[in-house]
Amino acid sequence: MLNSGKRNILGVLIDVVDYESAVDIIFRAAKEKRPAAVSALAVHGLMTGALDREQRFRLNQFELLVPDGQPVRWVLNALYGAELPDRVYGPNLTLKVCARAVEEQLPVYFYGATPEILAALRLALATRFPGLIVAGAEPSKFRRLEPTEKVELAGRIRASGAALLFVGLGCPRQEIFAYELRDLLPLPVLAVGAAFPFLAGILPQAPVWMQNAGLEWLYRLLSEPRRLWRRYLLLNPAYLFLVALQALRLSTFSTEGQAPSRELLHG
């Protein structure tokens, strides 16, 4: 198990952890029935915090931010000698958490995506993990939630008996969701991005060689150019530039951020 604590990348505190440590942290919180916000951050998610002080504040309150993207892992290794052998990829983390949930007989809850994706996800996971207990699943409303809806949603999740909540809303909505619901739920909230459509078999995943080479972004860009071109063609070069400034000590990146001025919960 590898867990060397948090390290500053562009002002965002990323945990130097492997899969085993991440799963262990998540299940300690689940068994103790305490709040824990968790997110698997690739370059896009990290840059939302680097460029937005309020989002940086949210992210740095998370109990666990794992290095989802290879470029994030590479920077941890290069700047801090982290010696991480692999990233902690959101879809794989989801599978490992589900496998452990079967062993521990802890119920899980899914929130986000569309009814079709959730149905396919539940079928795929039931096939892979026959003993998985699904306490509930709700699709995204694709809009901002009213305060009463937020409280009602938290109430439904608590009443379901779920011990773990997976959230698949896309970045940065899912991180805002995890931050704003954390204190209403006595359980870990895991923001896992595209894990829902990937594991449901609806969205194709990049070949393993592209993932290992840090080229998953290129595969996704070619698959969804209209939706993703800004994310990858603008943010990736910006990430490299800012990391170079940090590595050369030409700029420092504060981890403080700014407390959000209002709630933005989207469901």
What is the per-residue pLDDT for 263?
Answer: 78
DSSP assignment of 76-131 equals HHHHH----SS---HHHHHHHHHHHHHHHT--EEEEES-HHHHHHHHHHHHHH-TT
CB-CB contact of 77 with 247 (8 Å) = no
Q: Rounded distance, CA 101 to CA 107, Å?
A: 7
Q: Is the pLDDT of residue 264 over 80?
A: no
| Alpha carbon distances (Å) from 80 to 6, 130, 253 | 10, 41, 15
Of 65-69, 110-114, 203-207, the one with minimum mean pLDDT is 203-207
Of 83-97, 140-154, 188-202, 234-248, the one with minimum mean pLDDT is 140-154
Q: Is the pLDDT of residue 265 over 80?
A: no
**Helices H / strands E in the chain, number of each:** 12, 8
Q: Is the pLDDT of residue 143 over 80?
A: yes
Q: Rounded distance, CA 210 to CA 245, Å?
A: 27
Q: Rounded distance, CA 235 to CA 16, Å?
A: 23
> What is the average pLDDT value for the chain, to the nearest integer?
95
Residue that has been written with the tokens 């692999």 in this structure: 86
Which DSSP category does 138 fall into? E
What is the per-residue pLDDT for 142?
Answer: 86
Q: Is the pLDDT of residue 147 over 90?
A: no
**Three-state secondary structure call for residue 58:** helix
- Max CA pair span of the chain: 53
Q: Is the pLDDT of residue 99 over 80?
A: yes
Average pLDDT in the 165-177 region?
95
Average pLDDT in the 118-126 region?
97
Residue that has been written with the tokens 């666990």 in this structure: 64
Average pLDDT in the 174-189 region?
95
| 217 pLDDT tier (thresholds 50, 70, 90) | confident
- The tokens describing 250, both together, are 């030409």
